[in-house]
Amino acid sequence: MLVLSSPSGAGKTSLSRRLVADHAELKLSVSCTTRSPRPGEQEGREYAFVGRPAFDAMVAEAAFLEWAEVHDHRYGTPRAPVLAALEAGRDVLFDIDWQGAEQVAAGAPADVVRVFVLPPTMADLRRRLFARAQDGAEVIERRLARAPGEIARWSAYDYVLVNDDFDQAYADLAHIYHAERLKRARNPWLSGFVTGLLESAEP
Ligand code: 5GP
């Protein structure tokens, strides 16, 4: 489970979409949210957009692996698709905030890798939020006001990227994913392979 967090506008969504596009074995977890779709967002692609009663019913049924209130709305990761992907041997990428990252890591510390994405400057963060023009000025100001609180969580993460240059940040993220995938503990097939290797050795 690869968890990516950042303040809004630091480029985490673009990084995560590209990592998933480049790796068939990596599945993006699609969250539920009570916020309204932005222009261009599609039901089931960016999020499952649900009303507050439906969201709260899922909380009551323990249908979320984690959930949190972010920017006045609720966001949660449905548990079942994540478990199904993991059982099928796939990796799962989460684009979630620090509260969700903490919950996912608490549930399975050895199976979670956490990556935090920082903007190069606060002015850059502001520029990117206004440039993507998906939210009104008031919503953007609220998100910017919350950025320092989110950024303050950086030291709980395994890796921290400064997204100054997108291609460089993406290359670093891909390296992190590849190296973490190669860890011995994540490749249980190795012990059988080594047994076979030794059995086939000439006396
Ligand atoms: P946005 O409204 O910009 O799509 O997302 C706002 C914030 O909520 C982002 O930091 C995003 O990573 C976070 N987020 C999205 N889905 C989830 C989720 O399922 N759980 C948690 N904890 N945070 C989420």
Give the Cα separation of 164 and 16 in Å (integer): 16
Lowest mean pLDDT among 26-40, 64-78, 127-141, 161-175: 127-141
Query: Averaged over 46-68, what is the pLDDT?
Result: 97
> Domains in the chain, start-ordered, CATH in brackets?
2-185 (3.40.50.300)
Q: Of the candidates 140, 128, 117, 118, which has an alpha carbon nearest to the alpha carbon of residue 38?
A: 140
Q: What is the pTM of this model?
A: 0.94
The stretch 4-29 carries a mean pLDDT of 95
- Per-residue model confidence (pLDDT) at position 8: 86
**Which pLDDT score is estimated for 133?**
72
Whether 35 is in the pocket of ligand 1, judged by its Cβ within 6 Å, is yes
Give the pLDDT confidence of 161-173 residue by residue, as tens digits: 999 999 999 999 9
Q: pLDDT tens for residues 58-92?
A: 999 999 999 999 988 999 999 999 999 999 999 99
- The continuous run of DSSP H or E covering 67 comes out as strand 64-70
- Of how many residues is the chain composed? 203
DSSP code per residue over 21-33: HH-TTEEEPPEEE
Task: Tell me the C-alpha distance between 96 and 67, whole Å.
Answer: 9
Residue 46 Cα: closest atom of ligand 1: 4
What is d(CA 47, CA 44) in angstroms, rounded to the nearest whole number? 5
What's the confidence (pLDDT) of residue 137? 87
122 C-alpha vs ligand 1 centroid, how far in Å?
Answer: 20
Closest ligand 1 atom, residue 95 Cα: 12
The answer to whether the CB of 70 falls within 8 A of the CB of 97 is yes
Does ligand 1 come within 6 angstroms of the Cβ of 31?
Answer: yes
